[in-house]
Amino acid sequence: MNGLFGHVDKKNEHDNQEHQEHQEHQEHQEHQEHQEHQEHQENNASEHPESQEMDDQINEDSGRQYSVGIDLGTTHCVLSYVDLSKEEDDMTQEVMAVPQLTSPGAIENKQQLPSFLYLAHDAEIAEGSTALPWTATPEYLVGDIARNLGSKTPIRLVASAKSWLCHAGVDCKEPILPSEAPEDVTRVSPFQVTKAYLQHLKDAWQAEHPNAPLEQQDLIITVPASFDPAARELTVEAARSIGLNQALLLEEPQSALYSWIDNSLGDWRSHVSVGDVILVVDVGGGTTDLSLIAVTEQDGNLELTRVAVGDHILLGGDNMDLALAYTVKAKMEQESGGRLEAWQVQALTHACRDAKEKIFNDSELNNIPLVVPSRSSSLIGGSLRTELTREEVDRVLVEGFLPEVSVSDRPVARPKSGLRTKGLPYAQDAGVTRHLAAFLAKQHSAVEDLEHVNLPESATFLHPTAILFNGGVLKAEVLSTRLMKVLNSWLTAEQAPEARLLEGADLDLAVAKGASYYGMVRQGKGVRIKGGTAASYYVGVESAMPAIPGMAPEIEALCIAPFGMEEGTEQVLPDDEFGLVIGEPVRFRFFASNSRREDQVGTRLDYWNDEELEELDEIEITLPEEGRHAGEVVPVHLSAAVTEVGTLELHAISNQDDHRWKIEFDVRAGEE
Amino acid sequence: MNTSYTIDLSLMPTTLDLWHVYLIAAVLLLSLILIIVLLSMVISLAKKPKPAIIETEKTVKVTAEPEIKIVEKIVEVEKIVQAPAPEPVVLKEATPDAALQVLGLLQKEARFIDFIKEDIAAYSDADIGVAARVVHEGCNKAINEYFSLDVVRSDKEGSKVTLAKGFDASEVRLTGNIVGEAPFTGSLIHKGWQVTDIRLPKLTANHNAKIIAPAEVEL
């Protein structure tokens, strides 16, 4: 940043000289960046003399035509864009129709690119039938065709790759997906899958805007607010690996709020007021994401501050469809006495999804016939018929997923079985309301430091005053009303005013639209949500106490990055010294907390409960031998920086000569 | 007086005398004229041929017998000449690919071909009803997805409508007691359908549209 501003100042004085210097500066940066990228790929601890070189590059080029937002969803990807060259009043978010294969040989333009990847067998696809407008032979099949082919051949289908990115315990660059596939199938890594979706969107953009390459536009990629630093880093890395070096990250709930602000056409200030706490509930296809955003005042202007984010909850609309299908399956099996085959359950899930929407949309309708068509050409002979009733939908979806619980209820967590499964850590309790209750109670003190937000002392949970919905699931009025009702019942019980619903959001496309709007906001055209890191981060260090035989040494958590650390800042811990051995990897246990706001850099915790601190993947430092002897011990201290991109960077800095080494999040890469 | 001119081929003029100057000038002038003449011929040749050929074409067409020409995808009947002879009628032939594609989509979404090709005589109405739901739902989905439909007349069916003079006879079909002159008044029997937009999937170059549903083999 300093470099850039330095140049701007000079510009007024010596114009010619500046130009030359500017070029040199840029070349220098590109060189460094390239180097960094290479080193990163090799998974070595990389040297990192200037942590903010990326930021300079991002701000340097302001002559971009579009602001592009990509919603990399668990089940769908959406790309939206704004033409920045238009007058401010004419700027509108467009959603790009993404050309994609729907079946071999057929290409359709759809606003959503389903986040599925299909690993086709060579014999399965006729030659040339997977051509896309920009390539005759795409590397992977993604989008609608992947979902369609995969519904009949699930062993070759990769779904929910995004959830794997945030799954502690696996290496996201190892080919592990599809996790249930037989040996024969060449697997791919969650990282590769993310890259494939981005590549498809990039190619689609390029085909439509040949004169405006995506790498030269403002680009925002949204991630769940609950994504940990490693998952954020992987997302950015995937973008960089296909040339999108300028991509920035934005949290999805924030993006949804930006979209709402944009939809209100400047009127949002009359819908919220100082002291409001907006609860953003985002129930997508695969995940539930919760965030709290406070409305504060600064110099007479309204400000938005993201004060809390929830845990990563793998619970969404797909669970609902499955739950319905299994209910109906049980009923059918009881009636007929036979068992349904896998393909029949699949068809039933499909039928339930459509039927559920019809029941939700039509209050007169009390039951919908469901048909599981036979797979053979004899349609009439082999089809099974049953019914889905309103009572079942209410019982399974409304009561099952949004039960009327009290605010003191908590999600049920079954004790983990000793076996470590390879699957995703799906939420064990389907009650979204229970997760919400736990979140609000945990974030009880989230607004303590804000002078405009007043929470009564008797409150047992944080009282939201407004609520914004996002995600396709909450389009169903029955579900959104129920959620409002439950929340308001908690509020009324504590004599707090009912929360109001912020209307006018586009639940399917808001995240992508908000992302491209954020690109405009970054240019100073609108209000910006302040946030910083969504959690505080800790490394585990052994406490200094005499060893006790048979007992693992006590561990202390050393805070290296506080809550709400803002983008573009760095925090150093000069007093906590570590001795690192050259050439030997050193691992640290790594923790995050989304509720401990008071901890400063350098705070040591000797005790914490499981709710407060969540253990993430270990982090690792390996000091390369460059110019030093193997086995030599180098005293270092740690430093944490939040980049403008929105990722956390950890460095070990030598106490002797200020040499920096990057600390890797993704330590399992290259193991096993 | 020596008046006899001898021809001596070995003799070379040593100076540029008046005669030789005249000779050179004459040569240059003649060659210039030659170039101009040649150029003007080339230009006129290049310009002329087209009108000449068009004229011959016209005469051929005027005398030709009316013929039925089958051209793919041509929407309007081309008016080639305004001669008193009858216009050549150009019929359009539907492109088979789009028709096959629609069949394929209806089969995929609604099991349309399966349903139509099955012998329904053997089944009860209840069984047929079950299958009909699949077909109805799927067809509805496919039609809504790939076509935008609108009614031709938004009046209520059964109500009185008046057709002004010059109404489009392709949009509204008159039936029954058709006598007299427009405006016509009658009751609307069917509101009509029209497609306002088509969004059929694009096909890859070597896609075999004739396979509207591939055979399925489970391994």
CATH classification at residue A365: 3.90.640.10
User: How far apart, in Å, are the Cα atoms of A115 and each of A72, A226, B203?
Assistant: 8, 19, 22
**Does residue A230 share a domain with residue A105?**
yes
DSSP A338-402: SPPPHHHHHHHHHHHHHHHHHHHH-TT--EEEEEE--SSS-HHHH-EEEEEEHHHHIIIIIIHHS
The set of residues, in sequence order, having a beta carbon less than 8 Å from that of A638 and lying 6+ positions away, is A539, A560, A572, A573, A576, A578, A650, A651, A652, A653, A663
The reply to whether residue B201 touches residue A369, judged by beta carbons under 8 angstroms, is: no
| Nearest by CB: A380 against B108, B123, B137 | B123
Alpha-carbon span A460 to A454, nearest angstrom: 14
**Does residue A550 share a domain with residue A496?**
no
Q: pTM of the full predicted structure?
A: 0.76
Task: Report the pLDDT value the prediction gives residue A47, as an integer from 0 to 100.
Answer: 40
**Does residue A243 share a domain with residue A111?**
yes
Final residue belonging to a domain, choices A221, A249, A277: A249
Alpha-carbon span A313 to A429, nearest angstrom: 10
**Does residue A207 share a domain with residue A145?**
yes
The reply to whether residue B207 touches residue A354, judged by beta carbons under 8 angstroms, is: no
Specify the CATH number for the domain of residue A293.
3.30.420.40
The reply to whether residue B203 touches residue A375, judged by beta carbons under 8 angstroms, is: no
The reply to whether residue B118 touches residue A103, judged by beta carbons under 8 angstroms, is: no
Kindly state the tokens that stand for A587.
């691992």
**Does residue A287 share a domain with residue A240?**
no
| Chain A partners within 8 Å of B135 (Cβ) | 379
DSSP H helical ranges for A557-604: none
**Does residue A620 share a domain with residue A556?**
yes
User: How far apart, in Å, are the Cα atoms of B159 and each of A242, A529, B166, B190?
Assistant: 63, 58, 21, 10
Alpha-carbon span A501 to A514, nearest angstrom: 18
**Does residue A141 share a domain with residue A234?**
yes
For chains A and B, CB pairs below 8 A equal 73
Is the residue at A670 inside a domain?
no
User: How far apart, in Å, are the Cα atoms of A595 and each of A443, A524, A557?
Assistant: 6, 31, 15
Task: Report the pLDDT value the prediction gives residue A520, as an integer from 0 to 100.
Answer: 84
| Nearest by CB: A107 against B135, B202, B208 | B202
* A599-656 pLDDT tens trace: 888 888 888 887 788 888 788 777 777 777 777 778 888 888 888 888 888 888 888 7
The reply to whether residue B130 touches residue A371, judged by beta carbons under 8 angstroms, is: yes
Question: Looking at chain A, which residue has its C-alpha nearest residue B98?
Answer: A106
SS3 A10: helix
Residues 109-168 of chain A whose Cβ lies under 8 A from any Cβ of chain B: 109, 126-131, 152
Is the residue at A271 inside a domain?
yes
Q: Which of A357, A380, A387 to mutate to test the interface with B (most CBs of B within 10 A)?
A: A380
**Does residue A579 share a domain with residue A543?**
yes
Residue type at A76 in one-letter notation: H
DSSP B9-41: TT----S--HHHHHHHHHHHHHHHHHHHHHHHH
Alpha-carbon span A136 to A126, nearest angstrom: 12
Q: What domain range includes position A156?
A: 66-249
The reply to whether residue B127 touches residue A380, judged by beta carbons under 8 angstroms, is: yes
Q: Which residues of chain B have pLDDT under 70?
A: 1-5, 48-85
**Does residue A455 share a domain with residue A387?**
no
In angstroms, the separation between the Cα of residue A379 and the nearest Cα of chain B is: 6
Task: Report the pLDDT value the prediction gives residue A56, as an integer from 0 to 100.
Answer: 40
**Does residue A186 share a domain with residue A130?**
yes
DSSP A298-315: ETTEEEEEEEEE---B--
**Does residue A163 share a domain with residue A23?**
no
Task: Report the pLDDT value the prediction gives residue A8, as an integer from 0 to 100.
Answer: 36
| Residue whose pair of structure tokens reads 């030598």 in the numeric block | A654
Q: What are phi and psi of A557, to 5 degrees?
A: -100, 120
The reply to whether residue A379 touches residue B208, judged by beta carbons under 8 angstroms, is: no
Is the residue at A340 inside a domain?
yes
Is the residue at A668 inside a domain?
no
**Does residue A237 share a domain with residue A165?**
yes
Task: Report the pLDDT value the prediction gives residue B49, as an integer from 0 to 100.
Answer: 52
Task: Report the pLDDT value the prediction gives residue A199, as an integer from 0 to 100.
Answer: 95
Q: Which residues of chain A have pLDDT under 70?
A: 1-63, 168, 414-423, 543-553, 666-672
Task: Report the pLDDT value the prediction gives residue B4, as an integer from 0 to 100.
Answer: 61
Question: Looking at chain A, which residue has its C-alpha nearest residue B107?
Answer: A377
Final residue belonging to a domain, choices A528, A552, A570: A528
Question: Looking at chain B, which residue has its C-alpha nearest residue A355?
Answer: B137
The reply to whether residue A128 touches residue B202, judged by beta carbons under 8 angstroms, is: no
Task: Report the pLDDT value the prediction gives residue A3, as an integer from 0 to 100.
Answer: 36
**What is the domain count for chain A?**
4
| Chain A partners within 8 Å of B203 (Cβ) | 105-107
Final residue belonging to a domain, choices A215, A249, A283: A249
Is the residue at A407 inside a domain?
no
